Structure 1
């Protein structure tokens, strides 16, 4: 740990994060959610980067900062932490006229235990994050609005050039590395431009506080360089109401102000209040009462921290305890209901998937037999456009009607195989992750 350091007090307004440019530039391979997680974890730890290696954040708070207020996907949080512990960050730094190369992982440790997420930074990385010589200001309110991973990556890489109005020319290969566009399809420029550059620019200009446009430079007939010009978004005033500090009301609360008076860091105080505001208030009351009686040997801040992190019971009333218990039971019941509903929804989707496969794999003989059966029953007078040679309906309405009848026939016959259902879910989630 760095010694003899007295860090100056730094206020990060509106959830703005000073993020070292090296950390932005070397994490292009991260997905959208992983990039958002990096920024949220760093913002939470910022006040204590030089004084503590290990940092904590309530899982509920973490989900809220990621924009997951309605999601309780702890499995995905674990997956993202696992990725960050294996994601390298490279630094190329000039020291004494010579280039020094360093590499380390984004975080060195991650844990989710109960309702708390714990993580750790390497000392060197923490020092670079806290006092970068060059940094970009990333607003987490803006970040939550992004839906495309390439768009957020491009936004982060452009933001540091906001004051000069242009990124300068980047070699196209360097740009692809920064943005994480490593798929072979992007070796052909028209696909890179259409799927990555154009879509990202549209999203940035629509939802963020800056506007960007791309310029290209060719060598011969081939595009070899790209640069982005930046201006303030004239619609910024319309965006600002949505980008206001999510924690403004907490900062105005009496409990927050009292915690700060005792020397508790801003982000830590917010985290405690979000986790359990009644507990935070009760602990402050308890500590101040003991301090008046001169019963605290060390600092009040240290005592407050110990009581809160240990989950100490400092005198909640029976009414408050019962109220909290009832609220939790109600929440758990509602959560179970949503889980059950989601499970039924996924099972129904899987059955429809099986039926679709069954229909697509019908032989010509099977189709002829089914059409004949359909025509003498529910499909009477609805098979006039059917061609027995091709096995197809020329009329779209008749075709849709027959397909609906097929589904009604096959659906009751579907038998769920648990293992195959699990494999289908994994493939579905994998596709969703890749798409994000």
Structure 2
């Protein structure tokens, strides 16, 4: 979508931020990188309706974009990840804070549930449900912290992703509690026997994960190790939000904080079934002008019956589409310019293919004629070269007729198309 300076702003996905249950973040679920990302996006998409007992859904193309799989037509990965979310038991509040006279301390507590109670991929859409107890925990504002899902999207290691989830919430206080080494292993799912040796846990899990987080995400971590004798018994992470971090932005901006112009645009987006929170984030991320153009186009499509399923899903895709044009993109100009451009491109491609095909046909006919005019002497010369390349064909050769028997003659005919005789006859090598 074009901004006033004709430079691209990052897609809406870069502003995607999720309120996530603290206990869930500190879960010991054995989730891989794909499952963690998928669950965070499903939670983000359904957050506005968590208090309602409903089946949530999202078009598959949009979910694939969120997962970074927009070029894949294979749904097996999503299906496997959703099945894993349905079968995975998570343990809540492995780290539970409590107030004491001396200040804040931490104690252990236990609670468990599955992540999804239902999942399906039907008619090009992903569908899922949360158990009511799970939904209540996910929506409890008393235990939420903001998790920047998009900031963590580029992480390639499941260890780094889990560490980001478990440390980002502490950016305001600047440090995590001191975590015992067994607890760190459980939180990061580094439960392989190899990591019982702290040297390998540090070398292969903690150090690479911290480096990846510091390079990619919106926070920076430093690690401090607590020792008893020569052994490391606990780990503490010091957390700093980078200056440009979206964690430092007020994420609770409500409709009342918008200008009158933005409120009107917001209401149009909500009328298209886009969540209020997502609408406000889109306006903040892309600017009023770009979003107004996207909304106008979507409204035009809805009015003309060109959107059969989700207007909100279509609007999301338009918001994420850059337009490199000098004039404002309205529903009419977008429709006209795109159709004209597609028609011109198609006509040019057809003309090019026709011209190329005509040249190939002419060359082929010319070469066929040249081969038919070869003398017996020239065919013998060619056969000699052919046999030198493929000695096993000699037994099928009739020197008097300068021909081969059976399939070998067909092979010889193909050879002749690229053969240049030693005489005056010039043969094209292009066909």
TM (norm. structure 1) is: 0.54
Helix, strand or coil at the partner of 2:173: coil
Which whole-Å deviations, capped at 9, do the CAs of 1:378-397 have from their partners, x for residues lacking one?
Answer: xxxxxxxxxxxxxxxxxxxx
Q: Name the structure 2 match of 1:366.
A: none
Q: Name the structure 1 match of 2:172.
A: 163
Is 1:56–2:57 an aligned residue pair? yes
Distance 1:28 1:263, change over 3 A: closer
Q: Name the structure 2 match of 1:147.
A: 156
Gaps of 5+ in 1: 1-11, 241-251, 288-303, 312-319, 331-436
Q: Name the structure 2 match of 1:281.
A: 299
Contact between 2:159 and 2:189, CA under 8 Å: does it hold in 1? yes
How far the C-alpha of 1:286 sits from its partner, in A, is 7.0
Q: Name the structure 2 match of 1:338.
A: none
| CA distance in structure 2 between the aligned counterparts of 1:57 and 1:40, rounded to whole angstroms | 10
| CA distance in structure 2 between the aligned counterparts of 1:277 and 1:86, rounded to whole angstroms | 39
Larger Rg: 2
Is 1:120–2:146 an aligned residue pair? no
Distance 1:199 1:30, change over 3 A: same
Contact between 1:205 and 1:212, CA under 8 Å: does it hold in 2? yes
| CA distance in structure 2 between the aligned counterparts of 1:229 and 1:307, rounded to whole angstroms | 44
How far the C-alpha of 1:214 sits from its partner, in A, is 0.9
Q: Name the structure 2 match of 1:188.
A: 197
Bigger relative CO (Cα 8 Å, ≥ 6 apart): 2
Distance 1:190 1:61, change over 3 A: same
How far the C-alpha of 1:90 sits from its partner, in A, is 2.4
Is 1:134–2:152 an aligned residue pair? no
Contact between 1:170 and 1:227, CA under 8 Å: does it hold in 2? yes
Contact between 2:154 and 2:216, CA under 8 Å: does it hold in 1? yes
Which whole-Å deviations, capped at 9, do the CAs of 1:177-236 have from their partners, x for residues lacking one?
Answer: 0010011110111100000000001011111111111111112221111111112235x3
Helix, strand or coil at the partner of 1:85: helix
| CA distance in structure 2 between the aligned counterparts of 1:255 and 1:70, rounded to whole angstroms | 32
Contact between 1:204 and 1:211, CA under 8 Å: does it hold in 2? yes
Helix, strand or coil at the partner of 1:154: helix
How far the C-alpha of 1:141 sits from its partner, in A, is 2.0
* Segment of structure 1 superposing worse, 225-234 or 187-196: 225-234
TM (norm. structure 2) is: 0.55
Q: Name the structure 1 match of 2:91.
A: 90
Contact between 1:135 and 1:160, CA under 8 Å: does it hold in 2? no
How far the C-alpha of 1:57 sits from its partner, in A, is 0.6
Question: Aligned residue pairs: how many?
Answer: 276
Q: Name the structure 2 match of 1:108.
A: 117
| CA distance in structure 1 between the aligned counterparts of 2:90 and 2:16, rounded to whole angstroms | 24
Contact between 2:14 and 2:151, CA under 8 Å: does it hold in 1? no
| CA distance in structure 1 between the aligned counterparts of 2:63 and 2:110, rounded to whole angstroms | 33
Q: Name the structure 1 match of 2:16.
A: 15
Which whole-Å deviations, capped at 9, do the CAs of 1:92-151 have from their partners, x for residues lacking one?
Answer: 599xxxx98542210111100121000000111112111242223221221221111101
Is 1:201–2:219 an aligned residue pair? no
How far the C-alpha of 1:69 sits from its partner, in A, is 2.2
Is 1:230–2:248 an aligned residue pair? no
| CA distance in structure 2 between the aligned counterparts of 1:150 and 1:90, rounded to whole angstroms | 18
Distance 1:58 1:228, change over 3 A: same
Q: RMSD of the TM alignment (CA)?
A: 4.3
Distance 1:68 1:27, change over 3 A: farther
| CA distance in structure 2 between the aligned counterparts of 1:102 and 1:168, rounded to whole angstroms | 21
Helix, strand or coil at the partner of 1:72: coil
Which whole-Å deviations, capped at 9, do the CAs of 1:383-424 have from their partners, x for residues lacking one?
Answer: xxxxxxxxxxxxxxxxxxxxxxxxxxxxxxxxxxxxxxxxxx
Distance 1:307 1:110, change over 3 A: closer
Contact between 2:152 and 2:216, CA under 8 Å: does it hold in 1? no
| CA distance in structure 2 between the aligned counterparts of 1:222 and 1:115, rounded to whole angstroms | 53
